């Protein structure tokens, strides 16, 4: 459908977003390409069709590009030409101030400039958990097993020897006691057991065929809510953004209406077909 695209990140993310949306909503290629069928395309698809990833050999399929952009004019030259200039040292100082005086090296600065939200989330975890970047990769992703020992260099020449001894049972508060040695000294701490799922009330489901109900096309979490109760929206306006498998998908209004009720907020965990927004149509 997209033409002869270069199949590499970030276009691979676009393909993934589009495939997830089509499978979740039961859309065929014919429906997607049909001008009479309203489709709320993922934000990454819209961004690509705008030309923000560059131009493929032969350009984009004109009919699909027109449908995706809904009359918006695409970029036809190199996207980097439109990037605003950046004062690197000023940005470094502003970022350092935002991180409460933390020293920002070139690697941190480049990461922030390319992926500001991801970088700030990453640094937020550092503030909560400490310098997790120093952990061995398997430990960071999978944790330690009883009897396992690791070495962690938290500063040049300063290494911690950590040995996990045992993990206790989960208590009524959902916490466990962790028994370990730090440089040979026994320690005990309490931590939340994230394997224990909180009991949450089931969300209402969107009624199939009800034009006033906007349902979740897939399981995931709500990244953002772009509307408020009582707000007027038009066809194509963004309502909610869903994050699933590291991909974000925008849910757009398919008609003009007024927002009657919101059933989610940023951070809400959702399942497929959960009711997200109610409209007055």
Per-residue pLDDT of 1-19, as tens digits, reads 998 888 888 898 899 889 9
In terms of Cα–Cα distance, which of 156, 263, 129, 281 is closest to 210? 281
* Superfamily designation of domain 11-81: Conserved carboxylase domain (1.10.472.90)
What average pLDDT does range 147-159 have in this prediction? 92
Q: What is the pLDDT of residue 245?
A: 66
22 CB-near residues (< 8 Å, 6+ apart): 28, 32
Cβ(226)–Cβ(249) below 8 Å? no
What average pLDDT does range 20-45 have in this prediction? 89
Which CATH architecture describes the domain 213-280?
Answer: Beta Barrel (2.40)
Q: What is the CATH number of domain 135-192?
A: 3.10.600.10
In terms of Cα–Cα distance, which of 146, 150, 151 is closest to 164? 146
Quote the tokens at residue 176. Answer: 């466990």
What average pLDDT does range 142-164 have in this prediction? 92
Dihedral sign for Cα 267, 268, 270, 274, please. Answer: negative
Ordered by start, the domain boundaries in the chain are: 11-81, 97-129, 135-192, 213-280
15 CB-near residues (< 8 Å, 6+ apart): 2, 5, 7
202 CB-near residues (< 8 Å, 6+ apart): none
Per-residue pLDDT of 71-116, as tens digits, reads 899 999 998 898 889 999 999 999 999 998 888 999 999 999 988 9
DSSP string, 47-110: HHHTTTT---TT---HHHHHHHHTTPPPP-S-GGGGSPP--HHHHHHHHHHHTTT----HHHHH
């Amino acid at each position: 459908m997209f033409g002869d695209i270069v199949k590499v990140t970030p276009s691979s993310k676009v393909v993934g977003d589009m495939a997830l949306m089509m499978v979740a909503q039961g859309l065929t290629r014919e429906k997607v390409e049909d001008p009479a069928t309203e489709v709320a395309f993922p934000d990454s698809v819209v961004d690509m069709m705008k030309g923000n990833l560059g131009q493929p050999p032969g350009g984009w399929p004109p009919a699909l590009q027109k449908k995706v952009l809904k009359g918006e004019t695409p970029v036809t030259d190199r996207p980097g030409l439109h990037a605003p200039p950046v004062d690197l040292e000023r940005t470094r100082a502003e970022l350092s101030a935002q991180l409460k005086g933390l020293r920002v090296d070139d690697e941190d600065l480049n990461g922030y400039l390319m992926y500001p939200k991801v970088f700030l989330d990453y640094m937020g975890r550092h503030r909560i958990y400490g310098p997790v970047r120093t952990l061995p990769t398997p430990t960071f992703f999978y944790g330690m097993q009883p009897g396992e020992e690791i070495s962690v260099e938290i500063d040049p020449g300063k290494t911690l020897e950590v040995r996990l001894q045992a993990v206790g049972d989960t208590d009524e508060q959902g916490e466990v006691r962790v028994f370990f040695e730090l440089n040979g000294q026994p320690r005990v701490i309490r931590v939340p057991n994230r394997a224990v799922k909180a009991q949450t009330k089931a969300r209402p489901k969107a009624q199939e065929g009800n034009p006033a109900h906007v349902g979740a096309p897939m399981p995931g979490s709500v990244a953002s809510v772009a509307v408020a109760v009582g707000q007027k929206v038009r066809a194509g306006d963004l309502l909610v953004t869903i994050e699933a498998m590291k991909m974000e998908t925008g849910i757009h209004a398919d008609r003009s209406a007024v927002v009657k009720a919101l059933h989610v907020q940023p951070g809400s965990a959702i399942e497929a077909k959960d009711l997200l927004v109610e409209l007055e149509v």
